[in-house]
Amino acid sequence: MTLIWGILNITPDSFSDGGRFTDPEVAVAHARLLRAQGAAIIDVGGESTRPGSDRVTPEVEQARVLPVVEALTDAGIATSIDTLNADTAVAAVAAGARIVNDVSGGLADERMLSAVAGLDADIAIGHWRGPSSDMYAKAQYTRAAQEVASELRERVRAAAAAGIAPSRVIVDPGIGFAKSGTQNWDVLRGTDEIAALGHRVLIGTSRKRFLAEALDDAVSGALTQQRRDLATAVTSALAARAGAWAVRVHDVAATRDALAITAAWDGA
């Protein structure tokens, strides 16, 4: 069964839920709800990676995430740390995080891969072509799925060179990062090419703009969050059928149901 990662953004500026969970007690309560709804991992992030977002210092990021990771660890809830910073990764794993989720695949902080090599944690390596502030300028592909797979292969090799065993690696094709709407769909249709790299595959489509574009021409504000969550659940179920090991979502309950119905259809 494909695992569900529940998204917990402890930020004021994330694109769909910024500011909702900046209070640690509120964040922990929401994580408990996500866990009860079926999330196997709570992905805790303290820096927005939405298009055009500004970077924050590791100190600010850690002040946001570490109390929550510690509280969830004490409660027996598994967490990953969504970060571009090696120092935050190290601190979060010390606080109990089991996975480092680096959407840049170690490119944003050159110390990341060597730092993770010395930790007792796995790493999710994302496909990335630059910071959120200008990533769409780099959305140039001839064959998107094949090029993303090739670039991920290079990051996996870099991880191995840093001392990270292949069994610790998860790959994420970076849906929404330096990709147009059409390119995102091309990559999703090529999930089998990502899986052919031989690592666990993490897919994250949750509430992203390309889903809205597929549903309605009036993207700016016309679509409700509920419609995006339904679209997320459908793409997550299709990703699971294509071989995804896990999907990263905001609405865990809807995705849990979509995965269960897909499994029933397939006789699993």
Q: How many angstroms separate the Cα of 201 from the Cα of each of 78, 123, 156, 167, 174?
A: 18, 11, 12, 12, 11
Handedness of CA 180, 104, 233, 147 (dihedral sign): positive
C-alpha 255/C-alpha 248 separation (Å) is: 9
Continuous segment of H or E residues that includes residue 230: helix 225-241
- Cβ neighbour number for residue 265 with a 10 Å cutoff: 10
Instruction: Enumerate the active-site residues.
Output: 208, 248
Quick check: helix, strand or coil at residue 50?
Answer: coil
Closest among 36, 10, 13, 7 to 21, alpha carbons compared: 10
Partnered with residue 39 across adjacent β-strands are none
What value, to the nearest 5°, has the Cα angle with vertex 229 and ends 234 and 34?
Answer: 105
Alpha-carbon span 193 to 148, nearest angstrom: 9
Nearest-CA neighbor of 151 among 185, 115, 125? Answer: 125
